[in-house]
């Protein structure tokens, strides 16, 4: 494939927040994930230092919390103050201790050096509860909630800038689901109250690439919003826990991802909001989380509470199967890099994305008592965060090799090579993905108005497309070449994610 680029052909400027992450009160993301006071890695605040260091290593820019489905019945006031009375979590059908609440989340973000992003309860909650949360976090000392924060040991406001109204309230699976008409009104009234507390916050609202939902939401509340929140999980779990094979995953890396962005772009354009509202893809992962028998409780006759074998074995224990590290292979790395390339290619619109989640479940970091496992997708964030530049250049591509899907994939076709070029005014960095499961692919890069002299390649790969990392087993990692003369042609190994530094 031949690629021609010019430093004058600029797509836009990448926002670092597309390398953000998500943490929910589900399974071992919080308790046993980032927060584990009994762990030998715990610091003075109970956070696992091996985890916080891994999050710093990928320059985490923003973390969204506390949910996800969890938030739609979460009352933030139960998670602050000296006394934390446990609640029954109706979303995930477990007990929530509330030992980790708003103040602990802010402490975690300060430790990592990232922005906190709070998703509010628009399921059972209301405009007043949401705006009270903004009072608690962002007012200096006015009113009862700011005074509560001070009494809880935080004299200075937390200054939380990013707030989302609701999580997936469009879906029947969500507690407190709404229809499009209800949703527009609730977002409008919640936004009004939250902005009256702190007009400087940036507001997002739960959305879906659907015309009716968005037209209603944007007509009713568009003038109050800075972001529209959409989510995406592609690897099906309908066939149980067995992950899709590598080739099926690759077929998700084209229109399946870009289509959702293009549809939202069209809605924003239709309402003249494309310059005002950006996309926060604030939950995305190749793989949906595994939690059978939780949301669909139609077979109520055999499901009961914690005193029942079915509950323990078929509801709770099933969640441990998210922790099988062999599920997460180079397919996850190639898909994640393709997703981020799509965000970069649409960097004028997609300016936040949160990998869902970052610790445990389907995350990039797996914790166990004696350490952590960095799954293949972790290294994508490490490469993109540490080597890509901020200006995204347009590319002219010729002879683009494609892979097509079989009938079961509706004959889908995706490009085998996926590449983004970035620039900082002096040096270039390309993110080049070879999705081919077996064959090396050659690219030929030409600069229309520059003569770079040398290059260095960071290659994320493993011995096969199904390579993975596990406790005591490291098959996937990054190798980096020496600086060599830049001659334009580069051979990309099969199933690899590469950052090519060019100067």
What's the per-residue H, E or C state across 405-428?
CCHHHCCCEEECEEEEEEECCCCE
The single-letter DSSP state of residue 342 is: H
Q: Which is nearer to ligand AHR, 65 or 154 (CB)?
A: 65
Widest pairwise Cα distance in the chain: 71
Mask 17-36, x = binds ligand AHR (CB under 6 A)?
-------x------------
* Bond before 467 cis per omega within 30 degrees: no
- Residues 335 and 341: their CA atoms lie apart, in Å, by 10
In the bound complex, what is the minimum distance in angstroms from residue 91's beta carbon to ligand AHR?
7
In the bound complex, what is the minimum distance in angstroms from residue 342's beta carbon to ligand AHR?
20
Under the binding rule (CB under 6 A), the answer on residue 168 touching ligand AHR is: yes
In the bound complex, what is the minimum distance in angstroms from residue 289's beta carbon to ligand AHR?
4
Among 52, 102, 167, 469, contact with ligand AHR (rule: CB under 6 A): 167
In the bound complex, what is the minimum distance in angstroms from residue 228's beta carbon to ligand AHR?
15
- Residues 197 and 3: their CA atoms lie apart, in Å, by 50
The single-letter DSSP state of residue 387 is: H
Under the binding rule (CB under 6 A), the answer on residue 229 touching ligand AHR is: no
Interior/surface letters 120-153, b for 16+ CB within 10 angstroms, e for the rest: bbbbebbbebbbbbbbbbbbeeeeebbebbeeee
Q: Which is nearer to ligand AHR, 39 or 207 (CB)?
A: 207
In the bound complex, what is the minimum distance in angstroms from residue 119's beta carbon to ligand AHR?
9
**Secondary structure (3-state) at 17:** helix
Q: Which is nearer to ligand AHR, 24 or 220 (CB)?
A: 24
Q: Which is nearer to ligand AHR, 256 or 282 (CB)?
A: 282
Mask 61-100, x = binds ligand AHR (CB under 6 A)?
------xxx-------------------------------
- Residues 352 and 293: their CA atoms lie apart, in Å, by 32
In the bound complex, what is the minimum distance in angstroms from residue 59's beta carbon to ligand AHR?
25
Residues 6+ apart with CB under 8 A from 269: none
- Residues 127 and 191: their CA atoms lie apart, in Å, by 8
Q: Which is nearer to ligand AHR, 34 or 445 (CB)?
A: 34
Under the binding rule (CB under 6 A), the answer on residue 283 touching ligand AHR is: yes
Closest CA relative to residue 210, chosen from 233, 185, 232, 180: 180
The single-letter DSSP state of residue 245 is: P
Tell me the two tokens of residue 363.
């995350």
Residues 6+ apart with CB under 8 A from 309: none
Q: Which of residues 457-496 bind ligand AHR (CB under 6 A)?
A: none
In the bound complex, what is the minimum distance in angstroms from residue 43's beta carbon to ligand AHR?
27
Under the binding rule (CB under 6 A), the answer on residue 232 touching ligand AHR is: no
- Residues 363 and 375: their CA atoms lie apart, in Å, by 8
In the bound complex, what is the minimum distance in angstroms from residue 27's beta carbon to ligand AHR?
10
Q: Please identify, among the stretches 208-216, 237-245, 282-290, 323-331, the one whose residues bind ligand AHR according to the rule CB under 6 A.
A: 282-290
In the bound complex, what is the minimum distance in angstroms from residue 366's beta carbon to ligand AHR?
17
- Residues 431 and 499: their CA atoms lie apart, in Å, by 5
Q: 235 near 286, Cβ under 8 Å?
A: yes
Under the binding rule (CB under 6 A), the answer on residue 288 touching ligand AHR is: yes
In the bound complex, what is the minimum distance in angstroms from residue 224's beta carbon to ligand AHR?
22
Q: Which is nearer to ligand AHR, 198 or 283 (CB)?
A: 283
Pairing of strands 413-415, 402-404: antiparallel
- Residues 487 and 444: their CA atoms lie apart, in Å, by 9
Q: Which is nearer to ligand AHR, 67 or 462 (CB)?
A: 67
Residue nearest to ligand AHR (CB): 68
Residue ranges binding ligand AHR (CB under 6 A): 24, 67-69, 167-168, 231, 283, 288-289
């Amino acid at each position: 494939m031949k690629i021609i680029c010019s430093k004058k052909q600029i797509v836009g400027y990448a926002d670092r927040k597309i390398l953000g992450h998500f943490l929910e009160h589900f399974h071992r993301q919080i308790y046993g994930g980032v927060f584990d006071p009994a762990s030998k890695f715990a610091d003075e605040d109970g956070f696992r230092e091996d985890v916080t260091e891994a999050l710093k290593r990928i320059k985490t820019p923003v973390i969204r919390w506390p949910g996800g489905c969890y938030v739609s019945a979460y009352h933030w006031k139960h998670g602050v103050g000296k006394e934390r009375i446990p609640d029954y979590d109706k979303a995930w059908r477990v007990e929530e201790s509330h030992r980790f609440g708003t103040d602990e989340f802010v402490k975690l973000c300060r430790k990592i050096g990232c922005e906190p992003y709070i998703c509010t309860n628009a399921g059972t909650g209301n405009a007043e509860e949401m705006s009270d949360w903004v009072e608690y976090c962002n007012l200096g000392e006015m009113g009862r909630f700011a005074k509560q924060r001070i009494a809880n040991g935080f004299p200075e406001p937390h200054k939380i800038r990013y707030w989302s109204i609701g999580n997936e309230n469009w879906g029947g699976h969500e507690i407190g689901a709404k229809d499009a008409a209800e949703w527009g009104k609730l977002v409008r009234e919640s936004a009004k109250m939250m902005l009256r507390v702190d007009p400087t916050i940036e507001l997002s609202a739960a959305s879906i690439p659907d015309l009716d939902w968005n037209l209603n939401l944007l007509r009713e509340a568009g003038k109050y919003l800075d972001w529209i929140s959409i989510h995406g999980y592609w690897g099906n779990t309908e066939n149980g826990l067995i992950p899709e094979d590598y080739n099926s995953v690759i077929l998700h890396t084209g229109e399946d991802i870009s289509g959702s962005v293009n549809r939202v772009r069209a809605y924003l354009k239709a309402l003249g909001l494309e310059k005002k509202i950006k996309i926060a893809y604030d939950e995305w992962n190749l793989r949906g989380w595994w939690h059978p028998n939780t949301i669909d409780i139609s077979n109520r006759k055999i499901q009961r509470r914690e005193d029942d074998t079915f509950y323990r074995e078929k509801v709770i224990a099933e969640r441990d199967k998210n922790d099988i590290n062999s599920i997460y292979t180079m397919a996850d790395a190639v898909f994640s890099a393709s997703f981020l390339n799509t965000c970069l290619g649409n960097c004028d619109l997609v300016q936040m994305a949160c990998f869902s989640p970052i610790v445990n479940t389907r995350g990039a970091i797996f914790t166990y008592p004696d350490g952590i496992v960095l799954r293949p997708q972790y290294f994508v964030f490490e490469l993109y965060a540490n080597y890509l530049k901020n200006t995204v250049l347009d590319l002219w591509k010729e002879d683009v090799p494609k892979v097509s899907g079989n009938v079961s994939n509706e004959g889908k076709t995706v490009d085998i090579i996926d590449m983004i070029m970035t620039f900082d005014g002096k040096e270039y960095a390309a993110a080049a993905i070879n999705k081919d499961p077996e064959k090396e692919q050659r690219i030929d890069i030409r600069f229309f108005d520059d003569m770079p002299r040398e290059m260095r390649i960071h290659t994320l790969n493993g011995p096969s497309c199904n390579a993975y990392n596990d406790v005591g087993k490291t098959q996937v990692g990054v190798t980096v070449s020496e600086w060599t003369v830049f001659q334009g042609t580069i051979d990309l190994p099969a199933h690899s994610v590469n950052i090519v530094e060019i100067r």
